[in-house]
């Protein structure tokens, strides 16, 4: 598989990464551990070198899974994890508010190193911006960890342009991770131009719209009771029905390209900038192979113009998150 560099950081990874969250968290009950270890190792065999996890996925169990699965490939793969939540197993999804105090960041790093079975965290993201802690203090704490050799690169997730600049001035930011896809293009306004200017890589999560852009979900799809999509305004049956137009558009282009809607959605992202590395998640080998196939799809300038013109005429219905979660983004 081709490689890409995340901005000026010299952090080189496969052109597509693998988001591991759904193996343990958010999309229904946790999946079988042995099967998920096999899937992660199958991704490595197929050229994927970039794996995304976080302490809060599970909590903790996803880091343990990723650490065990990738133990045979030390030095060949890049593992990204995240800090910044207060974790309380009694709270909903384990999330009990934000905590990016420097001492907490350092505690999280120590615990993540053990779970991931590594000597150094390749990429350590602040999961959400904590308005109670100046971003300079957050960047300074990660800088200390980098100087101690416990972390290699600093990242931010769902941060706004001003925060990115302030953090980058203290400790260079290697990558920013935020949601970005054909049905959520918010980063194009301020974040992508800022990253381009500063030489920071971009890692889109949910590049397939939490599964919607695959074309396998419609207004009649029902999700497991523990699937967090049940709480998302964009996934109400009415919103899914209204948003089907975007999937239909991808389907038409996919037919022409002898591809799938998911592959076109990923190829579109890859065509935006050479420093963008999407991290689609999956728990199925067939989907993993389908996603990897997107790297081989060439979209011409005409294709891209056609997609953007058609997509701009479709208004996506429904907020992507409930308001209390959305307020944590873009700060």
> Considering only CA atoms, which of 41, 43, 57, 38 is closest in space to residue 15?
43
Q: Which of 27, 57, 60, 125 is the catalytic position? A: 57
Residue carrying structure tokens 């381009």: 196
Contact 40, 66 (CB under 8 A): yes
> Considering only CA atoms, which of 238, 65, 271, 185 is closest in space to residue 263?
271
CB atoms within 10 A of CB 308: 12
Contact 81, 121 (CB under 8 A): yes
Please indicate whether residue 57 is annotated as part of the active site. yes
Q: Report how far residue 50's alpha carbon sits from residue 15's, in angstroms, rounded to the nearest whole number.
A: 9
Q: Report how far residue 194's alpha carbon sits from residue 148's, in angstroms, rounded to the nearest whole number.
A: 29
Kindly state the tokens that stand for 103.
């001492």
Which residues are known catalytic residues?
A: 57
């Amino acid at each position: 598989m081709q490689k890409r560099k995340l901005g000026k950081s010299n952090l080189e990874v496969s052109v597509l990464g693998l988001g591991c969250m759904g193996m343990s968290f958010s999309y229904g009950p946790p999946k079988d551990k042995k099967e998920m270890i096999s899937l992660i190792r199958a991704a490595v065999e197929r050229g994927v070198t970039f794996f995304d996890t976080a302490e809060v996925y599970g909590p903790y169990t996803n880091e343990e899974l990723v650490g065990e699965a990738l133990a045979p490939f030390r030095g060949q793969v890049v593992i990204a994890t995240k800090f910044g939540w207060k974790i309380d197993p009694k709270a909903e999804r384990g999330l009990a508010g934000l905590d990016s105090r420097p001492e907490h960041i350092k505690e999280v790093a120590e615990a993540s190193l053990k779970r991931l079975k590594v000597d150094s965290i390749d990429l350590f993201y602040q999961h959400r911006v904590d308005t109670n802690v100046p971003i300079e203090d957050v960047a300074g704490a990660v800088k200390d960890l980098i100087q101690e050799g416990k972390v290699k690169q600093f990242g931010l997730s769902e941060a706004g342009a001003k925060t990115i600049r302030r953090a980058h001035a203290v400790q260079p930011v290697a990558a920013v991770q935020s949601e970005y896809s054909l049905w959520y293009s918010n980063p194009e306004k301020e974040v992508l131009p800022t990253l381009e200017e500063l030489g920071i890589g971009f890692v889109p999560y949910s590049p397939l719209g939490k599964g919607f852009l695959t074309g396998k979900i419609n207004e009649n799809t029902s999700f497991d009771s523990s699937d967090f999509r049940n709480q998302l305004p964009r996934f109400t049956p009415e919103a899914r029905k209204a948003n089907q137009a975007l999937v239909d558009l991808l389907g038409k282009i996919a037919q022409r390209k002898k591809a799938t809607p998911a592959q076109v959605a990923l190829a579109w992202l890859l065509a935006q900038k050479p420093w963008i590395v999407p991290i689609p998640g999956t728990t199925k080998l067939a989907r993993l192979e389908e996603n990897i196939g997107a790297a081989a799809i060439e979209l011409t300038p005409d294709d891209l113009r056609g997609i953007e013109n058609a997509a701009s005429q479709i208004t996506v219905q429904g907020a992507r998150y409930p308001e209390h979660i959305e307020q944590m983004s873009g700060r």
